[in-house]
Amino acid sequence: MKNLIVIASSAGGPEALKILIPSLPKNIAASIVVIQHMPIGFTDLFARRLDDLSEIDVREIKNDIRVKRGKVYIAKSGSQIRLVKNIRSVYFKSFEDKTDNLLKPSADKFLETLKPVYYDRYICVVLSGMGNDATRGIENLKKHNNVYVICQNEESSKVFSMPGSVIEKGYADEVLDINDIAPRLVELTKSI
């Protein structure tokens, strides 16, 4: 089964990601996309820092880069991303957001582009963050896809708004401490 893990985070997210990403093995049976709200120019540095801390390969998303299993891709700040599939592969495309959405990248926008033809299952992880980005995207994704949702618990979140919004709507399958999320992701991707 082809799994895509989508991690959404904002305020407090970098600290959470510095715990989560280095805890993932390089042979995890999934591709991982991180939507972290950051100022323009910081996502490449952040991806490099996570790569230095981790066994798994971490890189910033570039336009037209192929999505590969066992890799972590950090969405570039200042633009929106989507997945596109051709005969041989799935790859990233940036696109202009013509709405008034101030979040670039936005987890909602990315999640809205996902379709069953890309992956058999989506695992969404919502970490510490301000606002409610990812809630609407998860709601839409669950209508047409095999989706499993994990939210960071309040005790380990710096800001609980983003995971709290998903939990309040009833979309969370599990609520876990940040230290328990990586082992659970490994377990979920091995179980199929």
Q: Going by C-beta distance under 8 Å and a sequence separation of 6 or more, which residues neighbour residue 18?
A: 49, 50, 53
51 catalytically annotated: no
The catalytic residue among 9, 23, 31, 37 is 37
133 catalytically annotated: yes
Q: How many CA atoms within 13 Å lie on the side-chain side of 179?
A: 2
144 catalytically annotated: no
Q: Helix 13-20 vs helix 178-190: angle between axes, to the nearest 10 degrees?
A: 50
Instruction: Report which of 17, 111, 84 is spatially closest to residue 56, judged by C-alpha positions.
Output: 17
The answer to whether the beta carbons of residues 22 and 54 sit under 8 Å apart is yes
The catalytic residue among 10, 157, 161, 165 is 10
Tokens at 77, concatenated:
């700040």
The catalytic residue among 51, 133, 157, 161 is 133
The answer to whether the beta carbons of residues 32 and 3 sit under 8 Å apart is no
Instruction: List residues with catalytic annotation.
Output: 10, 37, 133
